[in-house]
Amino acid sequence: MQLLSQPSCFKKQHVLSVGQYTRADLHLLFTVAQEMRLGVQRSGVLDLLRGRVLCTLFYEPSTRTSASFDAAMQRLGGRTVAVAAGQSSVQKGETLQDTLRTLACYGDAVVLRHPDEGSVEVAERYSDVPVINAGNGSGEHPTQAFLDLFTIREELGTVQGLTITFVGDLRHGRTVHSLVRLLRHYQVRVQLVAPPGLELPEGVREELAASGKLRGEWAALTGEVISRSDVLYCTRVQRERFGSGDEYERVRGAYRVDNAALKHAKASMVVMHPLPRNDEVAEEVDFDQRAAYFRQMRYGLYCRMALLALVMAPM
Amino acid sequence: MQLLSQPSCFKKQHVLSVGQYTRADLHLLFTVAQEMRLGVQRSGVLDLLRGRVLCTLFYEPSTRTSASFDAAMQRLGGRTVAVAAGQSSVQKGETLQDTLRTLACYGDAVVLRHPDEGSVEVAERYSDVPVINAGNGSGEHPTQAFLDLFTIREELGTVQGLTITFVGDLRHGRTVHSLVRLLRHYQVRVQLVAPPGLELPEGVREELAASGKLRGEWAALTGEVISRSDVLYCTRVQRERFGSGDEYERVRGAYRVDNAALKHAKASMVVMHPLPRNDEVAEEVDFDQRAAYFRQMRYGLYCRMALLALVMAPM
Amino acid sequence: MQLLSQPSCFKKQHVLSVGQYTRADLHLLFTVAQEMRLGVQRSGVLDLLRGRVLCTLFYEPSTRTSASFDAAMQRLGGRTVAVAAGQSSVQKGETLQDTLRTLACYGDAVVLRHPDEGSVEVAERYSDVPVINAGNGSGEHPTQAFLDLFTIREELGTVQGLTITFVGDLRHGRTVHSLVRLLRHYQVRVQLVAPPGLELPEGVREELAASGKLRGEWAALTGEVISRSDVLYCTRVQRERFGSGDEYERVRGAYRVDNAALKHAKASMVVMHPLPRNDEVAEEVDFDQRAAYFRQMRYGLYCRMALLALVMAPM
């Protein structure tokens, strides 16, 4: 863990956007995450952040992300102070900057989830302690993108040379946006499969196309698309995105991954999903070794431990 | 604490029903609970689960049970990650099994309270880490039954040979059902006192009668019933169980324990209650040494510490 | 930290009202708080309350106070069990005394916020472990008054001889009431500035006047009042206190502190506010070194650490 005492772009810095990081930065993060994996398997809790306090401030509920950061901090030997904004002074009309400055008095870093994209600028401007963006509206969710990439590396050995297929609602999933942006650092081929109206936002798509990595776009998940994939990255398709229930029922079959769909897949392919899922991935798939989405959460724990350690470890 | 390193039916196993345990298992649990009592009195927090993380997942609110598990885990030197299901991905329609598998990625065990009786089967089938049932609808609440039995042992020296009287709503109290089932391991006499319509469910009653331990049934708490009792186990009678407020007012006096009622009791009798109470036990009783219900919660802390240690301690 | 092992009026005692403390008691508290400041700066977390568990029981939401106590306890090496009363057995009709006695079984002290002034008497009568009042309705908020006084000492070196001006809604702010009462121990001059109808309650005002410390009362904040002040203590003026929005708009300018107002102030004056604020203190003031309200929260952490250590440290 000598890596933690070296200077890096993480140390005492905000983590707001995947755009802040080079491939070398990611390499450092993943190397530390692998150490975390070994450390947790060996002793459950490490002592790297003993004496540190992390505040979590969630303006939107989230089991997964808040519990994951909480567990990550505690497995580093640190302490967590959780603030659910629903029951906070926000109700008394306090601004985000005042709440952040308050928590900066009590903790050594803040994990923030907020419905407004602009929340990250407020954090950058006003917080004296590092703020980690855990989702800013339909903006970014950088730690999810880190853990997605780490999952691919751990499951398949490398990201280089892979064909990665994104399936589902690519418009609203900030997870996908952040991950696609991170993939610019790697030699990959990307396939996009989305229902009409739920395609990747134009800006993200343009950037991807300009990089020469966009392999093709489809309106339905076909056997051929699956057969070329090394990673099948599924996202939640929410009924409420569709005008009518009928419309939803008509398209959902075209994006659903089940055992029949997996017949077309390579033996080494992995199915990923940021969870929670609706029925885009059938439960029967859970029993297929290619289903990586529960392991993905475990990788998330290691990745967030690595990030917290890199940001918060004492000099 | 060498007991913790020995093989036992608790180690790394689910705790779903009192039916899993023999009298020897209970003996082990209570022996460890006594050690916990001494340990807490001596040093406040032990270090037995250092490096372990417990997730608590409550789909129904509960001060007592969740705070008790949280305190128990922390007094063992471990860490707790609390998830209140009201503010979780459950709102996004996630299934119980997916939520459980998520928490199994972050923690080393999960404490689950859920309104459905079937939740324990889901836990058994899907969770990779031990799940401790903290109440499944009107099914069971095994750790409450353990602590009730431990309370009787600690207060009266033994369970053997005692006369135990259950009073109040015996139909809906899962606490009573679990405890009655556990009592099959002991030579006891059981008296049942319940308003018409709130008697013990037929299945539980049959089992008790078949074992020859059912001493009698009454529709009101009489001086004679009290005078024979070594343990008076009261349960909450909820107004909403009755058709009308009048009906409630008419019967409640017949199940209320106050100082007048205690005049009939042995000096060594103990009054127990799982709490919270309404007015089944008058506040004046709190000042009588026979009122054991606050001590009962303290025993609950030791008992849950013992259980967590037996389930989660490293090899 | 030998101070903690000496007998004091804090050790294992309730902290319910500022009226319990002499000037010597406050001196002890502030001396320990200074040690805490050094300790946190040096090592983040101290080990003084290792093995101790603090329960926090909030019947009203509060980011600031509950997070502050949580962080304070954890920075002392202790553990926190948080109970939000909204999701507790209170919903099942449990009395405050029963809930307190429950938590006393799990923790070594309880921090209580409750909307009823009478809650402190219940705590005093029924709790076996020390209860710290974190706000009882419009009664008191003693730890806020402690930290306010500590802030003045740390910022200005002493409280003696200062002119302290209270501005805003002096009627409803329990913070102001507690602080004014504490100031009886010091040689100070007090100026009161409040909108008509929101003046200091008669009892508190009488006591202050009788002590000869009341320097004057105004209905608006003037340059002259500011120029005499060493401390400008602002409080939140809530729109809903006024009959109509018009009325509020008309008076709010008379109590607002902005850069123009600060032109009249001494270079050494400090602006304090218990937070959260509405717009009584303009955001532009945040960038003036005299704005002490964020530092005030940091002092609050040290002060609450000192209090918890004095109350809960082992013999």
| Contact present, B286 and B273 (Cβ < 8 Å) | no
Cβ of C102 within 8 Å of Cβ of B63? The answer is yes
Burial of A24 (0-12, 13-18, 19+ CB in 10 A): exposed
Phi/psi-derived region of residue C262, left when phi > 0, alpha when psi is between -120 and 50, beta in every other case? alpha
**Does residue A45 sit at the B interface (CB-CB below 8 Å)?**
yes
pLDDT band at B61 (very low <50, low <70, confident <90, very high): confident
Q: Is C11 a catalytic residue?
A: no
Instruction: Assign domain B18-139+301-312 to its CATH architecture.
Output: 3-Layer(aba) Sandwich (3.40)
Cβ of A301 within 8 Å of Cβ of B99? The answer is no
User: For A207-223, how does the pLDDT look when each residue is reduced to its tens digit (9 = 90+)?
Assistant: 999 999 999 999 999 99
For B281, which residue in chain C has the nearest alpha carbon?
C98
Name the pairing type of β-strands C53-58 and B270-272: unpaired
Q: Which residues of C touch A102 (CB under 8 A)?
A: 63-64, 67, 275, 294, 297
Whole-Å CA distances, C18 to A41, A160, C140, C174, C176 = 50, 66, 8, 12, 12
User: For C273-305, how does the pLDDT look when each residue is reduced to its tens digit (9 = 90+)?
Assistant: 999 998 899 999 999 999 999 999 999 999 999
pLDDT band at A89 (very low <50, low <70, confident <90, very high): very low
User: For C225-248, how does the pLDDT look when each residue is reduced to its tens digit (9 = 90+)?
Assistant: 999 999 999 998 877 777 777 777
Q: What is the pLDDT of residue A78?
A: 95
Closest CA to B272 of B155, B137, B187, B186: B155
The whole-angstrom distance between C190's CA and the closest CA on chain A is 28
Tell me the whole-structure pTM to 2 decimals: 0.94
Q: What is the pLDDT of residue B89?
A: 47
Domain boundaries, chain B: 18-139+301-312, 142-297
Q: What is the pLDDT of residue B3?
A: 84
For B50, which residue in chain A has the nearest alpha carbon?
A45
DSSP one-letter string for B154-196: HHHS-STT-EEEEES-TTT-HHHHHHHHHGGGS--EEEEE--T
- Is omega for the bond preceding B115 within 30 degrees of 0, making it cis? no
User: For B102-123, how does the pLDDT look when each residue is reduced to its tens digit (9 = 90+)?
Assistant: 999 999 999 999 999 999 999 9
Radius of gyration from C-alpha coordinates of chain A: 20
Cβ of B94 within 8 Å of Cβ of A301? The answer is no
Q: Rounded to the nearest 10 degrees, how much is the dihedral formed by the CA atoms of C282, C287, C291, C296?
A: 110
Q: Mean pLDDT over residues B155-183, rounded?
A: 94
Cβ of A89 within 8 Å of Cβ of C63? The answer is yes
- Please tell me the least confidently modeled range out of A58-62, A118-122, B78-82, C269-273: A58-62
Q: Of B14, B37, B56, B65, which residue is the catalytic one?
A: B65
Say which of C85, C92, C105 has its CB closest to residue B298.
C105
For helices A293-312 and A63-75, the axis angle rounded to 10 degrees is 50
Mean pLDDT of chain C: 92
For B93, which residue in chain A has the nearest alpha carbon?
A278
Q: Mean pLDDT over residues B73-97, rounded?
A: 80
Cβ of C98 within 8 Å of Cβ of B275? The answer is yes
Q: Mutation target for C interface from A80, A89, A128, A312: give the one with most C CBs within 10 A.
A: A89
User: How is residue A123 annotated by DSSP?
Assistant: H
**Does residue B294 sit at the A interface (CB-CB below 8 Å)?**
no
pLDDT band at B259 (very low <50, low <70, confident <90, very high): very high
Q: Mean pLDDT over residues A29-34, rounded?
A: 98
Task: Pick B110 or C198 by higher pLDDT.
Answer: B110
Q: Mutation target for A interface from C41, C54, C64: give the one with most A CBs within 10 A.
A: C64
Closest CA to B248 of B260, B235, B239: B239
User: For A239-253, how does the pLDDT look when each residue is reduced to its tens digit (9 = 90+)?
Assistant: 777 777 777 777 777
pLDDT band at C89 (very low <50, low <70, confident <90, very high): very low
The whole-angstrom distance between B105's CA and the closest CA on chain A is 5
Provide CB contacts within 8 A for B255, sequence distance 6+: B167, B168, B193, B195, B220, B221, B234, B237, B280
Q: Tell me which fold the domain B142-297 belongs to.
A: Rossmann fold (3.40.50)
Question: Same CATH topology for B18-139+301-312 and B142-297?
Answer: yes
User: How is residue C200 annotated by DSSP?
Assistant: P
Q: Is C172 a catalytic residue?
A: no
Q: Mean pLDDT over residues A246-273, rounded?
A: 90
Give the chains touching C; criterion: ≥3 Cβ pairs < 8 Å. Answer: A, B
ipTM of the complex: 0.93
